[in-house]
Amino acid sequence: MFRDLYITLKEFLRTFGAMQLFFLRLLSNSPSIFVKRFNLVVHQVHNAGALSLVIIMVCGLFVGGVLGLQGHANLSKFNAEDSVGTFAAFSLIKELGPVITALLFAGRAGTALASEIGLMKVTDQLAAMEMMAINPLRRVLVPRFLGGVIAMPLLVAVFTTVGLFGAHLVGVSLMGVDAGAFWQQMRSTLEMGDIYEGIVKSIVFGIVASLYAVWEGYNAIPTAEGVGRATTRTVVLTAIAVLILDFMITAVSI
Residues that bind another protein (CB under 8 A): 119-120, 123-125, 127-128, 130-135, 139
Least distance to another protein from the beta carbon of 133, Å? 4
Q: What Rg value do the Cα atoms of the chain yield, rounded?
A: 21
Q: How many CB atoms lie within 10 A of CB 90?
A: 18
Least distance to another protein from the beta carbon of 107, Å? 22
Least distance to another protein from the beta carbon of 144, Å? 12
Nearer to another protein, 139 or 229 (CB): 139
Nearer to another protein, 127 or 243 (CB): 127
Beta strands, E only, 37-119? none
CB-based contacts of 125, cutoff 8 Å, min separation 6 = none
Least distance to another protein from the beta carbon of 163, Å? 34
164 closest CA partner among 86, 51, 99, 101: 86
Nearer to another protein, 101 or 219 (CB): 219
Nearer to another protein, 34 or 62 (CB): 34
CB-based contacts of 113, cutoff 8 Å, min separation 6 = 48, 144, 148, 210, 213, 214, 217, 234
